[in-house]
Structure 1
Amino acid sequence: MPRSKRDKKVSLTKTDRKGLAWKQRIIDDIRFCVEKYPNIFVFQVQNMRNNLLKDLRQEWKKNSRFIFGKNRIMQIGLGRTKAEETETDLHKLSKRLTGQVGLLFTEKTKKEVLEWAENYWAVEYARSGFVATKTVTLPAGPLEEFTHSMEPHLRSLGLPTKLEKGVVTIYSDYTVCEEGKVLTPEQARILKLLGDPMAKFRLTMKCSWTKKDGFELHVEDSVDDNQSDSAMEEEPEDDDEKEEMEGDDE
């Protein structure tokens, strides 16, 4: 019997994702940027969206570079301790690389970046785990914005729907979410289907380092800069989904 062309074995050894070479490239990129750019910022992301970070990368690529990678890899690039850092006090930036944060290397002044960050935001759809900012209620009646083929999906999300003469209809009042309560995955999907964005994508500049002024804290935190290097806590691996936001070096 002839062998099927589909019967092929694929070696999983060739599917290594984000291995040592990838990590080393991020480290090298960060060290290159430390030399190239006069100003560095650690930014914190609220309501993370990769597509919006990519848009910012394109907008700022002329004179800046965004890097958004695993925190421990970025820490190595900057230097985790005084002994490792290539510039004085860069290890203080490393200590603030926790949670959903990234690095901004730029030729723009500190004043320009802080003013921009204060005023920049983008409306986005909320995800599960987000605390609802308002109560959303759907009254009983037709939902003409949805096609009849959507009815089973809406019902699976918990909406009390049925088809009446081919029109999706809610047969009783339904509260999608309540202000101050955490959204479930189903509630977040319903809000997106309804076209009701509730979240804001923002960047907060936690701290900065400039070749002229050195380190400066912009958001108060509990980090002890006088803590011995050996006592620096190791961050748990909770940032596997983070991506490096590459930028042009030109």
Structure 2
Amino acid sequence: MPKSKRSKLVSLTKVAKKTKEQKGAMIKDLQENADKWKYCWLFQVGAMRNTHLKTVRKLWKDTARIFFGRSAVMAKALGTTPEEEHRLGLNKLAKQIQGQVGVLFTDSEPDEVLEWFADFKQPDFARAGNIASRTVILPAGPVMRIHSDPPEPFPHNEEPQLRKLGLSTSMNKGVPTLHSPHKLCEKGKVLTGEQAQLLKLIGEKMVVFRVALLARWCAETGEVVQIEGQQLPEEETAGDAAEELDDGMEE
């Protein structure tokens, strides 16, 4: 009997890496945009979700260009020293490109950009490794899906999964039921995979995707302005990885 292809293991060493040509193309693209736009913003993302970041890109598609890729490549493109900087003053911004950050080029005035990103927040489900933002206790009685309107109990066929994820449930008139309150998670503590899955099943959104603007470069003056009070707490930026994203991606 032939081996199933579905069970075939693929070594991580065989995963395709960015080629020298692709990196060169990204550097060229970044530099061309640095020549085109009035401002370049450095931003950081909390509760990273590629879907939400792509939404930001689409909403700014006609008035900005967003890059969220390898920090070393982006920093090299802009130049981290006065001798290497692509335009006057860009080295001050490039030196800050570390970790999961991105850059946004736009002609929109600073007040408009700051106001828009301050308002853009998207609640989402936490993942394993995120920090619980609040304590969640499931009361005794039927285990409810709070995202339903009105809330409804879980169906009988999902009771085995609830037990597998750590709930001491039993069937009561065909409904998965808790006989005593269950602390699902505690504020400030790291979520396990089981806790994150339970929070998603009941519909409890624990994190908020948001974009923090860290600094702004102005093409006219070459000055870099730091945006005070925007640095995100470490717990908001840890644990979630993002794919490389720029406005030139295919849909």
- The answer (yes or no) to whether the contact 1:70–1:242 under 8 Å persists in 2 is no
How far apart are the structure 2 equivalents of 1:15 and 1:157? Answer: 32
User: What is the deviation of 1:205?
Assistant: 0.7
**Could you say what secondary structure the match of 1:154 adopts?**
helix
How far apart are the structure 2 equivalents of 1:19 and 1:149? Answer: 48
Larger mean Cα displacement after TM superposition, 69-78 or 144-153: 144-153
How far apart are the structure 1 equivalents of 2:50 and 2:19? Answer: 21
User: Which digits, 9 at most, give the CA deviation of each residue in 1:111-155, with x for residues without a partner?
Assistant: 211122222211111223333222211122222532222222211
Please name the residue that 2:155 is paired with.
147
- The answer (yes or no) to whether the contact 1:205–1:219 under 8 Å persists in 2 is no
- The answer (yes or no) to whether the contact 2:80–2:91 under 8 Å persists in 1 is yes
**Could you say what secondary structure the match of 2:162 adopts?**
helix
Which amino acid in the other structure matches residue 224 of structure 2?
F
Please name the residue that 2:82 is paired with.
82
- The answer (yes or no) to whether the contact 1:42–1:205 under 8 Å persists in 2 is yes
How do 1:175-214 residues align onto structure 2 when only pairs under 5 Å count? 175-213=183-221, 214=223
Shift of the 127–243 alpha-carbon distance from structure 1 to 2, 3 Å rule, reads same
How far apart are the structure 1 equivalents of 2:170 and 2:229? Answer: 52
Relative to the length of structure 2, the TM-score reads 0.80
Which amino acid in the other structure matches residue 246 of structure 1?
D
- Does 1:171 pair with 2:191? no
How far apart are the structure 2 equivalents of 1:190 and 1:168? Answer: 14
Which amino acid in the other structure matches residue 153 of structure 2?
E
User: What is the deviation of 1:76?
Assistant: 1.0
Please name the residue that 1:219 is paired with.
228
User: Which digits, 9 at most, give the CA deviation of each residue in 1:177-206, with x for residues without a partner?
Assistant: 122322222212111111111211111111
Shift of the 90–67 alpha-carbon distance from structure 1 to 2, 3 Å rule, reads same
Please name the residue that 1:42 is paired with.
42
**Could you say what secondary structure the match of 2:153 adopts?**
coil
Please name the residue that 2:18 is paired with.
18
- The answer (yes or no) to whether the contact 2:48–2:241 under 8 Å persists in 1 is no
Shift of the 204–179 alpha-carbon distance from structure 1 to 2, 3 Å rule, reads same
Which amino acid in the other structure matches residue 127 of structure 1?
R
- The alignment yields a C-alpha RMSD, in angstroms, of 2.8
Structure 1 portions without partners, runs of 5+: 7-11, 222-237
Structure 2 portions without partners, runs of 5+: 6-10, 144-151, 231-237
User: What is the deviation of 1:239?
Assistant: 11
Give identity over the alignment, percent.
40
- Name the count of aligned residue pairs: 226
Larger mean Cα displacement after TM superposition, 173-182 or 144-153: 144-153
**Could you say what secondary structure the match of 2:245 adopts?**
coil
User: What is the deviation of 1:97?
Assistant: 1.1
Shift of the 127–203 alpha-carbon distance from structure 1 to 2, 3 Å rule, reads same
Relative to the length of structure 1, the TM-score reads 0.80
